Chains A and B, each alone.
Chain A
Amino acid sequence: NAGVMQNPRHLVRRRGQEARLRCSPMKGHSHVYWYRQLPEEGLKFMVYLQKENIIDESGMPKERFSAEFPKEGPSILRIQQVVRGDSAAYFCASSTGWGLETQYFGPGTRLLVL
């Protein structure tokens, strides 16, 4: 059973470009979470999605960031017009969402903005 998959694993963008990060949850999981980790910091929650629904986006910056989890295909975290401060590791986690379920994390995408 494949775990949570993320791609790309490393992404380099210049300021002003767009970054698209993809996350495929574990088989059987329909709930996806995105977290951001700055160097030497813990993970900070960004957004929680179910298929075709955003459940909680309280951690998302108000501008330039968006997330989706379509009926078919992976969840996508999109960052428009990236700035140097967006450089971080972005982790996706998934769970079944039913009851007291552990969130399982993907390998992360390390974004570097030049």
Chain B
Amino acid sequence: ELKVEQNPLFLSMQEGKNYTIYCNYSTTSDRLYWYRQDPGKSLESLFVLLSNGAVKQEGRLMASLDTKARLSTLHITAAVHDLSATYFCAVDMQGAGSYQLTFGKGTKLSVIP
């Protein structure tokens, strides 16, 4: 059974600071996704990482993937209040032609002025 673990689960940080969220997964997969969810809202796709060593950046967020270590990171640079949300990583299970995503429990980020 594929397991996806995120840490930390809760993160409170001051504006302007940097921090990293970690996502570990238990079986081989070459595809990892990061989503953002605001309270009471749906999931917004942030990044799709498709191969070992992939790095993608959008604004103050940068995601990377190390498939050998089965680890992805989401790095936040100079946090601002608008980044407060819950961030999920998800891994693709490609068995039997199904593309179901297995999600971590999420990291709830609060950026404090």
Contacts and interface: CB of A to CB of B under 8 A. Distances in A.
Interface string B38-62: 0001111100101000000000000
A85 interface: no
A107 B44 CA distance: 10
Interface string B85-104: 00010100000111111111
B25 interface: no
Contact of A42 (B88, B98, B100): B88
Given A42-B106, A100-B48, A105 B43 contact: yes
B99 A95 contact: yes
Interface stretch (A11-19, A43-51, A75-83): A43-51
Given A100-B31, A100-B50, A102-B33, A45 B100 contact: yes
B75 interface: no
B58 to A, nearest CB: 14
Nearest to A100: B50
A33 B33 CA distance: 16
A105 B88 CA distance: 13
B88 A55 contact: no
A28 to B, nearest CB: 16
Interface of B: 4, 31, 33, 35, 41-45, 48, 50, 88, 90, 96-106
